[in-house]
């Protein structure tokens, strides 16, 4: 992983109007607000976007609007692992990829029940990869439907497929994050690792993570952008650690 540029990528919220419909004028203003703060990407159709509360068509329409409004200024990723079966999830992944996103994110808790083994998880991911061609994919340890943290060994197995270019990590343990970062091939320039747990994120960035993707950035993105920009700057070490 390259350490040269660090990024803050917000998990976008979705504004609604008084009729409970997506307010696209407000979405545009939100994108402008994030870009003015210096963000380097967007995670659309995520948990903060109310992805479980909107319809399939709304997920697609919202993501497509964001992609078109951003116009390639920064990358956009979006969740695609919706549906009752692996076949359903693969079909929706293809549909949301066609909106123009750079990668489609898969929720780890969508590929095994809470009591299922990691072998079940890996088997379901294997089927998913076979059904989705060469679409670039990402992983997200989303808190819902339940939070499935990937052990470093499982994470390594998934990365070895060569299909994953993005990971949003939500572990609260710094050492677990370190173990995962060690699993990332040093020559993989495409793969980007983002820490979503604010207290750990600076340590992850210093260990080689690409950046942060914490919900706090929906309230003060400028601060998280500054933290990413300065996490590895020895002249700012005291200020960075005071903030976190």
Q: Say whether 41 sits in a helix, a strand or coil.
A: coil
Q: Are 86 and 119 in contact (CB under 8 A)?
A: no
Q: Which long-range contacts (CB under 8 A, 24 or more apart) does 235-243 make?
A: 240/202, 241/202
pLDDT tens digits, one per residue of 135-155: 999 999 999 999 999 999 999
Average pLDDT over residues 183-196: 88
pLDDT tens digits, one per residue of 6-43: 999 999 999 999 999 999 999 999 999 999 999 999 99
Average pLDDT of the residues of the chain: 94
Q: Is the bond into 145 cis (omega within 30 degrees of 0)?
A: yes
- Is the pLDDT at 198 greater than 90? The verdict is no
Q: Which long-range contacts (CB under 8 A, 24 or more apart) does 53-62 make?
A: 54/14, 54/22, 56/82, 56/92, 58/22, 59/96, 60/95, 60/96, 60/99, 61/22, 62/14, 62/22, 62/27
Q: What is the pLDDT of residue 2?
A: 45
More confident residue, 44 or 242: 44
| DSSP line for 107-168 | EGGGSS-TT--HHHHHHHHHHHHHHSTT--EEEE--SSS---PPPHHHHHHHHTTS-EEEEE
pLDDT tens digits, one per residue of 73-99: 999 999 999 999 999 999 999 999 999
Q: Which structural domains are found in the chain, ordered by start?
A: 7-243 (3.20.20.70)
Q: What is the pLDDT of residue 35?
A: 97
Cα 48 from Cα 43, distance rounded (Å) = 9
Average pLDDT over residues 198-221: 90
């Amino acid at each position: 992983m390259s350490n040269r540029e660090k990024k803050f990528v917000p998990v976008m919220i979705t504004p609604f109007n008084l009729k409970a419909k997506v307010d696209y004028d407000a979405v545009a203003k939100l994108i402008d607000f994030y870009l003015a703060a210096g963000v380097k990407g967007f995670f659309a159709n995520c948990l903060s976007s109310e992805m479980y509360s909107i319809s399939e068509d709304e997920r697609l329409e919202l993501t497509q609007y964001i992609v078109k409004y951003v116009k390639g200024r920064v990358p956009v990723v979006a969740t695609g692992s919706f549906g009752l079966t692996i076949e359903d999830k693969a079909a929706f992944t293809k549909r949301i990829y066609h909106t123009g996103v750079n990668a489609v994110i898969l929720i780890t808790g969508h590929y095994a029940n809470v009591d299922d083994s990691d072998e079940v998880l890996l088997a379901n991911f294997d089927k998913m990869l076979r059904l989705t061609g060469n679409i670039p994919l990402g992983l997200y340890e989303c808190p819902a439907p339940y939070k499935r943290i990937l052990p470093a060994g499982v994470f390594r197995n998934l990365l070895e497929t060569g299909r994953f270019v993005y990971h949003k990590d939500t572990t609260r343990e710094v050492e677990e994050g370190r173990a995962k970062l060690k699993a990332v091939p040093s020559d993989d320039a495409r793969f980007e690792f983002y820490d979503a747990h604010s207290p750990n994120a600076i340590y992850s960035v210093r260990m080689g993570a690409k950046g942060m993707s914490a919900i706090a950035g929906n309230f003060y993105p400028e601060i998280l952008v500054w933290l990413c920009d300065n996490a590895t700057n020895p002249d700012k070490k005291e200020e960075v650690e005071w903030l976190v």
